Amino acid sequence: MIHVERYERYWIWLSLAGLVIFAIAIGVSSFMFGIQVPSPEALVNPNTVAKTGNFANPGLRQLAPNKYEAYIRAQASPWKFYPDKLEVPVGSTVTFYLTSADVQHGFKLEGTNINVMVLPGQVTKMTATFNQKGTFPYVCTEYCGVGHQNMFGTLVVK
Ligand SMILES: [Cu+2]
């Protein structure tokens, strides 16, 4: 048996305890706080995404009462989210599909746990339920050029 110095042993146990605590934290955040992994939902051609398909005609689509999907295209020059205004009734569940027509953008929706990268060529999918009335601003969180600060929009829940 290898002799391990007493303080060395304490540090080993402390590191193992740290791993267990982090594993528990990941489990709790995944199952209790609904952490979603914005896995690449689909691939699109960034050169044609503004001309054909769902992102060429972005916006809300109602799937069922209180169930919507929102296609949002992020674009630089002019720096804008298409659309930059969404409106849903209270109690709605909205699935967001996001892509970029050019460079890397971000999408953070205030008041929810949605904060994702929006990449050219990839579709990011996230879902949120809105049980309270209010205005939820969304902003670009990745520096994407000189007009980056103009990239924002609002989701209104009424
Ligand atoms: Cu930006």
Separation of CA 65 and ligand 1 centre (Å): 33
- 111-135 exposure pattern, b = at least 16 Cβ within 10 A, e = fewer: ebebebebbbebbbbbebebeeeee
Q: How many whole angstroms from 146 Cα to the centroid of ligand 1? A: 9
- Block mean pLDDT (10 aa), the chain, length 158: 91 97 91 79 91 93 96 94 96 96 96 92 94 96 95 96
Output the pTM of the full model.
0.83
Q: How many angstroms is it from 77 CA to the middle of ligand 1?
A: 11
Contacts with 65 (C-beta within 8 Å, 6 or more apart), sequence order: none
If you measure from the C-alpha of residue 143 to the centroid of ligand 1, how many angstroms do you get, rounded to a whole number?
4
Counting beta carbons within 10 angstroms of the beta carbon of residue 98, is it exposed (0 to 12), middle (13 to 18) or buried (19 or more)? buried
Widest Cα–Cα separation across the chain:
69
